[in-house]
Amino acid sequence: MARLIMTLITVCSLILSAMNPVPGMRYEYVGQHVESDARGAEESDTYGIADAIPEEPADIKAEAAPGKPMDNIAEAVPEEPADIKAEAAPGKPMDNIAEAVPEEPSDIQTETTPEKPADSGEGQVSDNSADSDDVSSPNNAVDETGSSVSDNSAEEKEDTDSEEAVTDENGIVTTKHTVTISGNEISYTAKAGMMELESDGVKCKMFYTAYTVDDEEDRPVTFAFNGGPGASSFYLHIGCLGPRTVKLNYMGEPATLPTELTDNDNSILDITDLVFIDPVGTGFSYPENEEDLDHFIGYDNDVRTVGDFIRQYTDQNNRWGDEKYIAGESYGTTRAVGVCDYLADTYAMYLNGLMLISGANDYSVNMPEQGNDDPYVVSLPTYAADAWYHGKLSGDYQDMELEAYLEEVKAFAADEYLIALFKGSRLTESEKDSVAEKISGYTGLSKDYVLDMNLRIDFEDFCRELLKDKGRTVGRYDGRMTGPSVSGSVLNGSADPSSHTADIAYTDTFLEYVTEELKFKTDREFIPLNYDVFYAWDFLDDGYMGYISQEEMIYNIMSNNKFLKIWVIGGYYDGATPFYSVEWIFDHIFLSDDRKSDLSLSFYPSGHLFYLDKESRGRFREEALKWYK
């Protein structure tokens, strides 16, 4: 029974997406008033894809004042200053910093050094000059903090609405705007509101925001959402894909709070129209009868509901003749694959592409149960990347370029390390000693420590051990972030110094954006992440070892639709969905030779939310231009 309980806890820890608020903290928002009751989180041995869960189920509610929604909510902040230290490598910015406010107060510091020493022992990033060009548009300047400063900032942007906001009989608000993307001015129409939907005989209202470029026909349309399960879509919306974003410095940190709106120079709106969807129970979306919430949550219910939304939107907006794509992040990648399969099977509606960001398409790969050693193998390259960044390696490895170094580590992991773990108790002492020495060299951990861990290092242990000599813990969502070693769990976010930067950056600004620019107003509460939804989620019915695994489904949807292409995106420093685990998943989809070119993988020197990093955002846009063609 104890093992069963432990397994269930581990599964829960795997599913929370990258944007969870501080676990154990209940939020109540009335207007702009915020009260929080932070509870300590117990240490956890679990290992998983997204945030593990708080000790007690917590729902996050935001009650909006009449006439103005709470469109985005910043996380509760400790009473005393936090001590989150983001160590940037000499000569190269922090490429992505995942969000976190530790459970206990900590000091927030960002350190950069002017140039790369041979063996500094401090934060390190390779020069990688070919990949680190400034990707800002010609119209963007960079201020002294490294922030991208657009000509269309919140203070400078004139009111470009060509007419007053128009609200139709269904409450959908239409506004007109312009945005500058890569130096080109784009005129577009925004629609924000609730779509009434009946899914499997039960009614709900789903909040969405749609952007269409004016005076252009035959454009692709991309439907986007985040994960959780239980998260709204505002992270991808304002952080990555949409036309407006917030001012961040090159390390993904805001210069002010609240943050400032600016044009998103790396938006893909000039490439594809965009529709951001909040699943039922998240954002403003809700069932017509509150007691029907269970009808919309869980893997099958969620896939059906989101799939029905996409079909209905396509029908109501005459998009049948346009190319259609889905973009999902974290658990949203699980949903994206499921929805693609559902639309084809149910409506003979076939998609052109899936964009899978920080993939979570096989949970068994990241579940280190007895007899399942795969998680240790696929995590090793992420440990190596973190150690390289923090200057914990010997000179030979430390001086290598990151990607070349990781190729060597992956080769070891897939061969000698995997074989050693497979042998189990049959491994000889000399073999074990040899493997431990190599793991030590690749990770910066002592050989004795690796032997004590029987060659199997959990993520929680690694995060606490790597910089133990400095009294600091490495972040899970972004291994370049460090913070003081405090009680709690890195896996459930309470001791992860990288779990809430995005919330700080986006929440208040998203609230302002939706109400002031998109003119959408409602008395309903906005729920950025709903723990009630998460706790009630049913995702364990099918799959390998009782976990969701989608390799066969991905094979089928690509084999049955020769026009479907898939783009997988991840970060080298992401410990929530390690990049090598994502490679492992897609290496086990045995496509025919003529389809292999339609499956592409891109990994950036960033964390779980790659778009917090300036360089990675620029590289993403460059690749998106090619992928959509």
- Reported as a single tens digit per residue, the pLDDT across 379-423 is 999 999 999 999 999 889 999 999 999 999 999 999 999 999 999
Write out pLDDT tens, residues 104-128: 333 333 333 333 333 333 333 333 3
**pLDDT number for residue 542:** 53
Q: Is 271 helix (H, G, I), strand (E, B) or coil?
A: coil
More confident residue, 495 or 60: 495
Question: Structure pTM?
Answer: 0.76
The amino acid occupying position 485 is S
Helix (H) or strand (E) holding 202: strand 202-213
Q: What is the largest CA-CA distance in the chain?
A: 76
- For 20-37, what is each residue's pLDDT tens digit? 433 333 333 323 333 333
The pLDDT assigned to 22 comes to 36
Lookup: tokens for 57: 């189920």
- Measured between alpha carbons, how far is 526 from 71 in angstroms, rounded to an integer? 6
pLDDT of amino acid 493: 73
Q: How many CB atoms lie within 10 A of CB 440?
A: 17
- Torsion sign across C-alpha atoms 402, 403, 405, 409: positive
| Higher-scoring residue by pLDDT: 246, 417 | 417
Residue 528 to residue 278: CA distance in whole angstroms: 9
Instruction: Give the C-alpha separation, 518 to 172, whole Å.
Output: 10
Q: Are the C-beta atoms of residues 360 and 49 closer than 8 Å to each other?
A: yes
Amino acid at 112: T
Are the C-beta atoms of 359 and 579 separated by less than 8 Å?
no
What six digits make up the tokens of 227?
């994960």
> Is residue 261 within a helix (H) or strand (E), and if so which, with residue range?
strand 261-263
- H helix or E strand, kind and range, residue 4: helix 2-15
Which residue has better confidence, 570 or 33?
Answer: 570
Q: What is the per-residue pLDDT for 625?
A: 97
Contact 425, 432 (CB under 8 A): no
The Cα–Cα gap between 239 and 267 comes to 9
The answer to whether 466 and 387 are in contact (CB under 8 A) is yes
**CA geometry: angle 548, 603, 45, nearest 5 deg:** 50
Whose CA is closest to 139, among 88, 188, 76, 182? 182
Question: For residue 347, what pLDDT is reported?
Answer: 97
pLDDT on residue 369: 72
The position carrying tokens 């990770």 is 443
What is the 8-class DSSP label of residue 598? G
Q: With pLDDT > 90 as the criterion, what percentage of the chain qualifies?
A: 58
The predicted structure's pLDDT at residue 151: 42
Q: How many residues does the chain have?
A: 629
Q: Is the pLDDT reported for residue 539 higher than 80? A: no
Position 610 scores a pLDDT of: 94
Mean pLDDT of 523-527: 87
Is residue 77 classed as helix, strand or coil in its secondary structure? coil
**Res. 601: pLDDT tops 90:** yes
Q: 377-393 in b/e burial notation, b at 16+ Cβ within 10 A? A: bbbbbbbbbbbbbbbbb
- Number of H helices and E strands in the chain, helices first, is 16, 22
Does 180 have pLDDT greater than 60? yes
Residue 473 identity: T
209, pLDDT greater than 60: yes
Q: Which amino acid is residue 308, in one-letter code?
A: D
Segment 301-330, tens digit of pLDDT: 999 999 999 999 999 999 999 999 999 999
Whole-angstrom distance between the N-terminal and C-terminal Cα of the chain?
Answer: 53
| Per-residue pLDDT, 36 | 32
Mean pLDDT of the chain: 79
Whether the CB-CB separation of 111 and 87 falls below 8 Å is answered with yes
Report which listed range, 333-337, 478-482, 506-510, is most confident: 333-337
Judge contact between 417 and 384, C-beta under 8 A: no
**Mean pLDDT across 40-56:** 37
pLDDT at 540: 64
pLDDT at 405: 98
Q: Tell me the β-bridge partners of 599.
A: 566
β-strand pairing of 25-30 with 148-149? unpaired
Q: So what's the pLDDT on residue 491? A: 76
Among 143-147, 317-321, 335-339, 492-496, the least confident range: 143-147
CA R_g for the chain: 23
Question: Who contacts 323 (Cβ-Cβ below 8 Å, separation ≥6)?
Answer: 220, 221, 352, 353
pLDDT tens for 185-205 read: 999 999 999 999 998 899 999
Beta carbons within 8 Å of 5's beta carbon, 6+ residues apart: none
Q: Is the pLDDT of residue 488 over 60?
A: yes
**Three-state secondary structure string covering 117-166:** CCCCCCCCCCCCHHHCCCCCCCCCEECCCCCEECCCCCCCCCCCCCCCCE
Strands 173-181 and 184-199: antiparallel
